[in-house]
């Protein structure tokens, strides 16, 4: 099943900056795909369009066969993790993860159970009552990932999620993300300019080039350990 489909997408800013040109790509269910390329090649622009942030100038972007904006409005199927963890400083770890669930309404006890489950998954069950300022950068990013997972998205989008972390923390979180991808039934699409991260953390790399942003090649990768 197609999860994401770019069809001949052009994206032009201010009638002059061509961020994407004739961009064609299909992503199937369960894939772990990254956009790899130099700064300014349109990676974020492409990712943001999948999240309904920005319209194609020409061509179309579909998610599960629908317009991304509709999917964001009507379902919990898409979650977005930014480079900055974006936690609310006055809310505890648990309450940060609960926030998107609360906004959707529903059973509070169920929400709490789910929030604790995902915080356990990222190794933070002892930090439910901690505040963001008490956490390291890696832990903040784990909370941000837990918050995204709490809504049980079918598609997780990540924009350079580990770029601001030190090398060792980055490698740990890369391992953890692979683990999450293997356990949860999810498609992941992320952006990186780090070749190592792309090779280590993808089943398929979409290589892009700048000026204007084009897809130059697709590389399939066999992960060293298969999905369960
Ligand atoms: P990448 O994520 O690969 O670094 P971006 O998608 O952020 O690249 O940007 C692609 C190109 O589009 C760049 O030239 C950038 O300056 C431009 N761009 C991105 N967003 C905007 C915007 N909102 N307005 C104008 N230009 C933009
Ligand atoms: P990244 O490098 O991770 O793509 P950027 O710093 O390029 O992030 O972009 C961050 C935000 O600024 C995005 O919302 C993008 O649309 C906007 N942006 C990027 N380039 C430009 C630009 N040249 N003019 C206006 N907005 C821009």
Convert the pLDDT of each residue in 58-76 to its tens digit. 999 999 999 999 988 888 8
Task: Establish whether residue 192 lines the binding site of ligand 2, counting it when its CB lies within 6 angstroms of any ligand atom.
Answer: no
Residues within 6 Å of ligand 1 by CB: 13-14, 17, 19, 37, 39-45, 213
User: Counting atoms of ligand 2 from 1, which one is nearest the CA of 191?
Assistant: 3
* CA–centroid distance, residue 38 to ligand 1 (Å): 12
Measured CA to CA, the distance from residue 48 to residue 56 in angstroms comes to 11
Least confident span in 142-151, 200-209, 213-222: 213-222
Measured CA to CA, the distance from residue 115 to residue 99 in angstroms comes to 10
Cis peptide before 212 (omega within 30 of 0): yes
- Cβ atoms of 226 and 193 within 8 Å: the answer is no
Convert the pLDDT of each residue in 15-32 to its tens digit. 989 999 999 999 999 999
> What predicted TM-score, i.e. pTM, was given to this entire model?
0.89
pLDDT of residue 226: 58
Task: Establish whether residue 144 lines the binding site of ligand 2, counting it when its CB lies within 6 angstroms of any ligand atom.
Answer: no
Measured CA to CA, the distance from residue 170 to residue 166 in angstroms comes to 6
Could you tell me what percent of the chain has a pLDDT over 90? Answer: 65
Taking alpha carbons only, the member of 20, 25, 43, 33 closest to residue 197 is 33
Convert the pLDDT of each residue in 168-203 to its tens digit. 888 988 988 988 898 888 999 999 999 989 998 999
> Residue 167 is encoded by which pair of tokens?
């090398």
* CA–centroid distance, residue 19 to ligand 1 (Å): 6
């Amino acid at each position: 099943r197609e999860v994401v489909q770019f069809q001949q997408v052009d994206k032009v800013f201010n009638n002059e900056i061509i961020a994407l040109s004739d961009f064609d790509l299909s992503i199937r269910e369960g894939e772990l795909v990254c956009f790899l390329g130099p700064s300014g090649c349109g990676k974020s622009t492409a990712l943001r369009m999948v999240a309904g942030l920005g319209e194609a100038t020409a061509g179309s972007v579909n998610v599960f066969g629908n317009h991304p904006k509709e999917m964001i409005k009507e379902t919990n199927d898409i979650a977005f993790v930014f480079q900055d963890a974006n936690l609310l400083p006055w809310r505890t770890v648990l309450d940060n993860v609960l926030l998107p669930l609360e906004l959707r309404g529903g059973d509070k006890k169920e929400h709490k159970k789910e929030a604790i489950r995902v915080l356990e998954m990222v190794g933070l069950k002892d930090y439910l009552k901690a505040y963001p300022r008490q956490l390291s950068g890696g832990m903040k990013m784990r909370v941000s990932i837990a918050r995204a997972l709490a809504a049980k998205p079918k598609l997780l989008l990540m924009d350079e999620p580990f770029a601001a972390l030190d090398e060792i923390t980055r490698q740990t979180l890369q391992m953890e993300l692979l683990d999450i991808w293997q356990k949860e039934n999810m498609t992941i699409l992320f952006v990186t300019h780090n070749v190592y991260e792309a090779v280590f953390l993808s089943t398929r790399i979409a290589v892009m080039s700048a000026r204007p942003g084009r897809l130059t090649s697709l590389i399939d990768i066999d992960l060293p350990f298969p999905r369960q």
